[in-house]
Amino acid sequence: MRLLILALLIALSSAGSAHAQPSRTSATQLIQSDTLTYELQYWVYTPEGYDALDDLPVLFLSDGAWYMDPEIGNMPAVLDSLISAELMEPIIAVFLDPRIPGHEHLSRRNAQFFCNQRFISFYEHELIPAIDSAYKTRADRSARTIAGLSFGGLNAACFGLYGHDFMEGIAMQSPATHPVRYIHPAYADSAQLPLRIFLSSGTHRDNEQRTRAFRDILERKGYPMKYIEVPFAHNWDNWGPLLDDLLLFFYGKEATD
């Protein structure tokens, strides 16, 4: 779906956007976390016409460098196309990188993404306040979503359990939930949490049986959810074409009207 919609939306939107302030993805920004006791890097996307906008929702992306990379996720281009065509509301996107700044061959993914309570606290008490103070956000849990793939999808599930008081949306692309075995029972045994959920899976070599079991738990609980399966494995052939589906579920005109 993604390639076709990008071509169509760029064509439709190009004429009307010639004089608008262009979208922008920031240079690398650094935040020193007292909670985690180390420094993290991130990038921030602001939409076309940002100076005239206010009260914007925020999408936080785990593995932000992958989602931002024009050769892999290319999320800024997907955002530009959907926003310019007025198919979704303008948003801010924060691409947080688990790699060590200056040593990008090293990563803290596993330490951060396996329901690390200190990592969740870092979001609540350090990252989110920094973004809210520097950008024109809607500083409310209902305007925040966290998205991730594989272990990043597990991380989003962890935020659903432990961070739902400051984060409403969780988007899980091929969540690799097996390192935290209690995730599925925790959702099954809890009351329905105040969440909106996007969940997707490939149909082979993608933890699909566990993801389908997770889907069934969430459906039985009655969560507002969009679930998608695609005929791919655990790779960007699976995840990339679903970025527009993810964005439209949370921010599409029908979702926000």
Q: Which CATH class is domain 25-256?
A: alpha beta
**Would you tell me how many other CB atoms lie within 10 Å of the CB of residue 158?**
26
Please compute the mean of the pLDDT values over residues 39-67 and round it to a whole number.
Answer: 97
Q: How far apart are CA 89 and CA 120, in angstroms?
A: 27
Which residues have a Cβ under 8 Å from the Cβ of 237 and sit 6 or more positions away? none
pTM of the predicted model as reported, rounded to 2 decimal places = 0.91
Q: Where are the domains of the chain?
A: 25-256
Nearest C-alpha neighbor of 49 from the set 11, 6, 79: 79
Q: pLDDT for 103-156, tens place per residue?
A: 999 999 999 999 999 999 999 999 999 999 999 999 999 999 999 999 999 999
Strands 58-61 and 29-33: unpaired
| Res 19: pLDDT | 65
The rounded mean pLDDT for the chain is: 94
| Res 10: pLDDT | 52
Please compute the mean of the pLDDT values over residues 59-79 and round it to a whole number.
Answer: 97
Structure tokens given for 41: 């890097």
